């Protein structure tokens, strides 16, 4: 079964990345794009399909596109207001197809949130929350994954000063449970080992440098250990990501955005993949934005999208039982 790739913001680098990904992956990893075929670079062979089942045959000759006609052309760098609703429709279509069993996994190209707010009154903080609503789930978790490391931030796009107040044992426990289950189901790891970061320098050093480790994190970890989840922590964040330490766990649970993002991006700037855990289907996306400033020049680097498509395939296979 093919993977579905949404077009994302057509004025960004999504179209050229889709074309580059097809050139790289060809028939090895059949996927189809949901979007407007006219938005793609002129030199990309395009095969318009009417059903995802045609992907395998079509991808031999060109990039299979499940056509969703947009009202406006794609002007690199300048999102068209009238296109916003269709960008959202493409996501909706992708979710419908993957839920209906017509696509193996959903991979999403980046959206430009402001363009969607201005053009279509998009009311969700981001892609992930929108997907959770479409899927009817309340708690989802963001994972960043590369060959070297998997990280999960417990809190995401909030100011650092608000992180201590946002953390509570329930949130930490939910994040860990969802991650643990996903490692088993989607990554094929029978007995996942998790490492949990502290919040403060040196994980608080026994309460000397902040008390959240003792008051908030450890109680959650005790509860989870009682449930049989294998984890270590709260660990000093500055020593848990070096090469030897990374071998000791399958994913690192972090307390704030940059605690998770700094190590993975310092190690793998281009090949990190954003994965949403806790959805009823597999969803990955490249770990970058629409890059409006370089769109249309052919300069965009497809490494992360290619890695995202590969990871989507692997996860879908693991979920289907190998």
| Residues at the interface with other proteins (CB under 8 A) | 156-161, 163-164, 199-202, 204-205, 209-212, 237-239, 241-243, 256-259, 261-263, 265-267, 269
Q: Is the dihedral of CA 224, 184, 34, 291 positive or negative?
A: positive
Q: Tell me the closest approach of the beta carbon of residue 235 to other proteins, in angstroms.
A: 12
Query: Nearer Cβ to other proteins, position 134 or 245?
Result: 245
Order of strands across the sheet with 273-277? Answer: 46-49, 63-67, 31-35, 3-6, 106-108, 283-286, 273-277, 141-145, 150-153, 251-254, 193-197, 230-235
Q: Which is nearer to other proteins, 77 or 269 (by Cβ)?
A: 269
> Which is nearer to other proteins, 160 or 299 (by Cβ)?
160
CA–CA distances in Å: residue 31 to residues 104, 289, 318: 9, 21, 18
Cβ atoms of residues 191 and 239 within 8 Å: no
Q: For other proteins, which is the closer residue by CB, 139 or 239?
A: 239
237 vs 308 by CB, closer to other proteins: 237
Query: For residue 156, what is the DSSP state?
Result: -
Cβ-based nearer residue to other proteins, 193 or 265: 265
Q: What are phi and psi of 151, to 5 degrees?
A: -130, 150
Give the nearest distance from C-beta 202 to other proteins in angstroms: 7
Q: Name the strand (E) or helix (H) holding 22.
A: helix 14-25
| Distance in Å, CB of 113 to other proteins, minimum | 12
Distances (CA, A) of 120 to 71, 112, 223, 224: 13, 12, 43, 42
Least spacing, CB of residue 66 vs other proteins, in Å: 32
Collapsing DSSP to helix, strand or coil, 211 comes out as coil
CB of 150 to other proteins, least distance (A): 14
Token pair belonging to 7: 């077009």
Q: Which is nearer to other proteins, 36 or 287 (CB)?
A: 287
Compute the least distance from the CB of residue 241 to other proteins, in Å: 4
Integer Rg of the chain from CA = 20
CB of 64 to other proteins, least distance (A): 34
* Angle in degrees, CA 265, 267, 273, rounded to 5: 55
């Amino acid at each position: 079964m093919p993977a579905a790739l949404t077009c994302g913001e057509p004025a960004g680098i999504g179209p050229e990345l889709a074309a580059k990904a097809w050139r790289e992956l060809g028939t090895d990893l059949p996927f189809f794009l949901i979007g407007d075929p006219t938005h793609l670079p002129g030199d990309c062979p395009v095969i318009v399909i009417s059903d995802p089942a045609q992907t395998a045959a079509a991808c031999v000759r060109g990039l299979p596109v499940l056509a969703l006609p947009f009202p406006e052309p794609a002007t690199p760098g300048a999102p068209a207001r009238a296109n916003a609703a269709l960008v959202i429709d493409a996501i909706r279509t992708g979710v419908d197809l993957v839920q209906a069993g017509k696509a193996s996994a959903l991979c999403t190209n980046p959206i430009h949130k402001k363009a969607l707010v201005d053009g279509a009154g998009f009311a969700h903080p981001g892609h992930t929350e929108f997907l959770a609503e479409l899927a009817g789930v309340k708690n989802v978790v963001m994972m960043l994954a590369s060959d070297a490391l998997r990280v999960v931030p417990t809190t995401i796009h909030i100011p650092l000063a608000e992180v201590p107040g946002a953390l509570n044992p329930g949130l930490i426990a939910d994040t860990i449970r969802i991650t643990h289950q996903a490692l088993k189901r989607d990554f094929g790891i029978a007995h996942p080992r998790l490492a949990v970061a502290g919040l403060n320098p040196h994980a608080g050093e026994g309460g000397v440098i902040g008390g959240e480790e003792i008051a908030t994190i450890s109680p959650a970890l005790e509860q989870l250990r009682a449930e049989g989840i294998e984890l270590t922590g709260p660990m000093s964040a500055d020593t848990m990501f070096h090469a030897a330490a990374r071998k000791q766990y399958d994913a690192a649970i972090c307390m704030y955005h940059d605690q998770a993002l700094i190590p993975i991006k310092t190690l793998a700037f281009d090949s990190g993949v954003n994965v949403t855990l806790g959805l009823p289907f597999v969803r990955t996306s490249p770990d970058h934005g629409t890059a409006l400033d370089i769109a249309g020049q052919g300069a965009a680097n497809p490494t992360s999208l290619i890695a995202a498509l590969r990871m989507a395939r692997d996860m879908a296979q693991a979920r289907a039982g190998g």
